[in-house]
Each structure stands twice: as C-alpha cells, then as structure tokens.
C-alpha cells in the first residue's frame, strides 16, 4: 500500500517556476491560478511593456513573484530568448502553459449578417489561414520543443496546451445571424484540432521523461459579447451560461499543472458547460 498523500499537497506549487504565454484574459487566469498555488510565474506578452504591466498587476493581485517576458509565439528565436531569460533567472522551468493564440481576419464579407449558412471557406485569405495556424498550432510546437530539453534534464515538467471546443466540433452557425458577431474561421477550428492531437503525440513521447503534456478545451467565455449572441449561445449550453473569467478555467489549470494529474497524459480537458456533450 502506498503512503497517503494529502490532496492539498498534490495541488501545492510552492517552489515551481511557470511560464504562461499571452497573459491577457484566460492567460491571466491561468497565471493567477498558478501564482495562487505558490508558483513563481513568468507571463508573456508581445511587447515588453505590456508583459511588465501584466506581471505587476498579477504580483499585486496574488502577492507572488511574477515577471514579464516579451514573446512572439510564432517566432522560434523569440522563444529561445524568452526561455533563456527564464532559465538565466531561475535555472529551471517546471510548467509551461501554451495559451497565446488567436486568428487574423483581414476581410469580413458583407453577407455575413444575412446568411445563416455563411462560412468563410471561399473568402478566407490564405495569408490569414497561415497566420492562424502559426499563432495557434506552430506556437504550441515551438513552445514544447523550447522547454523540453530543460524539463528532460530535470526529469519533470507539466505542459498545458490551450485548445478549444472548436477543435472538437464545428460551430452551430444558427447563433450568428443578427448577433453582431461573425462565425469563427476554418483555420481556427483546424488549428485547435491540431493542438488536441499534437498534445497526444507529444504527450506520449515525453511521458517517459517525466513530462506531462495535456490540453484544455474551453467553450465560449463571456466578454461583453452582444446580448443577442449571448442569448443564442447559452441556449446551446446545458449549464445555461458562458464561461466566467477569473473562475471557470482555474481548476483545470491547477489540476493539469500539479501533482494532482500525475497519471494523466495527452488528455484534452473540456471546460464548456456541457456544450459538446449533447
């Protein structure tokens, strides 16, 4: 029989060093959860001043040590600089949250508001498609390979990749007409599906080195979207609401970043109020 381990001890991140990319919104929430559990956290933004401002706010909110680091997640040289900076400062990296991502939409067709079956297939600019793939998927690949050598050396590490329910299902396009918002773009769906399976692939290859790679797939979080959109969207959610910033993501980060998930590899933890369950 194994010795009893208190579950609170499993979640404790005291002494751990974490890197969270894209420290606004969900990235901020992830960093906040890690800092609250005792980790020293580095948050990245594309510009150094933004990173420092986010770090200062997070340090004030949590009382933890937080540093800001500049990082362009699509650029391998930028990853090297960011990881070198962190290693130079703390000599290790225990946790990486590949959170930064987004999409580029240079052209929004005018028909979008009136056509319930509209999707971007024919109008999508190839350069926008490529940017989204880089920002969401290549960035995760670069992040994993930038930290892997240090985690391998320590025979320990936790990597969390931010995917999306858009990587699991297509969008119900009926929520968009009259909502004031455009449907998501196909490259976003493809890139997030890529993150989910890349997580499995890297997860199994790094597991023998004591490195745990898992993904989180959030559903839609509430960000003052137009009322009509929120109404349409929440009808699709068994819980009847959108995700809440500062609350609903944090438990999943705590679980996958800590010893609480020490038998979990390549998993995609869905945080969507049940939307993809029916």
Ligand X SMILES: NC(=O)c1ccc[n+]([C@@H]2O[C@H](COP(=O)([O-])OP(=O)(O)OC[C@H]3O[C@@H](n4cnc5c(N)ncnc54)[C@H](O)[C@@H]3O)[C@@H](O)[C@H]2O)c1
Q: Which of 52, 53, 57, 102 binds ligand X (CB under 6 A)?
A: 102
135 part of the interface to ligand X, by CB under 6 A: yes
Q: How many residues does the chain have?
A: 278
256 part of the interface to ligand X, by CB under 6 A: no
Query: Which tokens sit at 259?
Result: 């010893």
Query: Which tokens sit at 159?
Result: 């990597």
Sheet containing strand 211-218, edge to edge, reads 66-70, 40-45, 17-20, 95-98, 157-162, 211-218, 268-271
Query: Which tokens sit at 87?
Result: 């290693």
Cβ 73 to ligand X shortest distance, Å: 4
From 121-129, 144-152, 202-210, 213-221, span contacting ligand X (CB under 6 A): 213-221
22 part of the interface to ligand X, by CB under 6 A: yes
100 part of the interface to ligand X, by CB under 6 A: yes
Half-sphere exposure of 106 (CA within 13 A, CB side): 10
Q: Which of 17, 51, 67, 73 binds ligand X (CB under 6 A)?
A: 73
Q: Which of 164, 179, 258, 261 binds ligand X (CB under 6 A)?
A: 164
72 part of the interface to ligand X, by CB under 6 A: yes
From 56-64, 67-75, 144-152, 252-260, span contacting ligand X (CB under 6 A): 67-75
From 98-106, 144-152, 177-185, 257-265, span contacting ligand X (CB under 6 A): 98-106
101 part of the interface to ligand X, by CB under 6 A: yes
From 55-63, 71-79, 116-124, 258-266, span contacting ligand X (CB under 6 A): 71-79
CA nearest 267: which of 192, 208, 206, 217?
A: 217
Please answer whether residues 93 and 87 qualify as being in contact, where contact means their C-beta atoms are separated by less than 8 angstroms. yes
In eight-state DSSP terms, residue 117 is T
Binding residues among 74-93 for ligand X as defined by CB under 6 A? 74
Active-site annotation holds for 222 = no
Say which residues have a Cβ less than 8 Å from residue 244's Cβ, sequence separation at least 6. Answer: 221, 222
Distances in Å between the alpha carbon of 212 and those of 137, 144, 199, 208, 222?
18, 11, 10, 9, 30
Q: Which of 10, 11, 36, 46 binds ligand X (CB under 6 A)?
A: 46
42 part of the interface to ligand X, by CB under 6 A: no
Please answer whether residues 238 and 186 qualify as being in contact, where contact means their C-beta atoms are separated by less than 8 angstroms. no
Of 131, 176, 188, 233, the catalytic one is 188
* Binding region for ligand X (CB under 6 A): 22, 24-27, 45-46, 71-74, 99-102, 135, 162, 164, 218, 220-221
Active site (catalytic) residues: 188
């Amino acid at each position: 029989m194994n010795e009893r381990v208190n579950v609170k001890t499993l979640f404790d991140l005291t002494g751990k060093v974490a890197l969270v990319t894209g420290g606004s919104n969900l990235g901020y929430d992830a960093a906040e959860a890690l800092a609250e559990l005792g980790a020293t956290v580095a948050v990245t933004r594309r510009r150094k001043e933004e990173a420092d401002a986010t770090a200062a706010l997070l340090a004030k909110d949590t009382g933890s040590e937080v540093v800001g680091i500049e990082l362009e997640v699509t650029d391998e040289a930028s990853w090297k600089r960011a990881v070198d900076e962190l290693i130079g400062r703390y000599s290790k990296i225990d946790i990486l949250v590949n959170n930064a991502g987004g999409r580029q939409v240079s052209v929004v067709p005018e028909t979008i508001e009136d056509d319930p079956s509209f999707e971007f297939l024919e109008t999508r600019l190839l350069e926008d498609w490529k940017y989204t793939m880089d920002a969401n998927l290549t960035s995760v690949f670069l992040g994993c390979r930038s930290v892997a050598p240090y985690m391998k050396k320590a025979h320990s590490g936790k990597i969390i990749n931010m995917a999306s329910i858009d990587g699991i299902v297509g969008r119900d396009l009926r929520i968009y007409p009259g909502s004031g918002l455009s449907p998501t773009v196909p490259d976003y769906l493809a890139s997030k599906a890529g993150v989910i399976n890349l997580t499995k692939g890297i997860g199994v290859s790094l597991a023998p080195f004591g490195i745990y790679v898992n993904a989180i797939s959030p559903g839609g979080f509430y960000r003052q979207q137009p009322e009509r959109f929120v109404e349409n969207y929440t009808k699709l959610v068994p819980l009847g609401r959108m995700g809440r910033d500062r609350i609903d993501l944090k438990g999943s980060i705590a679980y996958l970043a800590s010893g609480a998930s020490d038998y979990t590899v390549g998993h995609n933890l869905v945080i969507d109020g049940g939307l993809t369950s029916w």
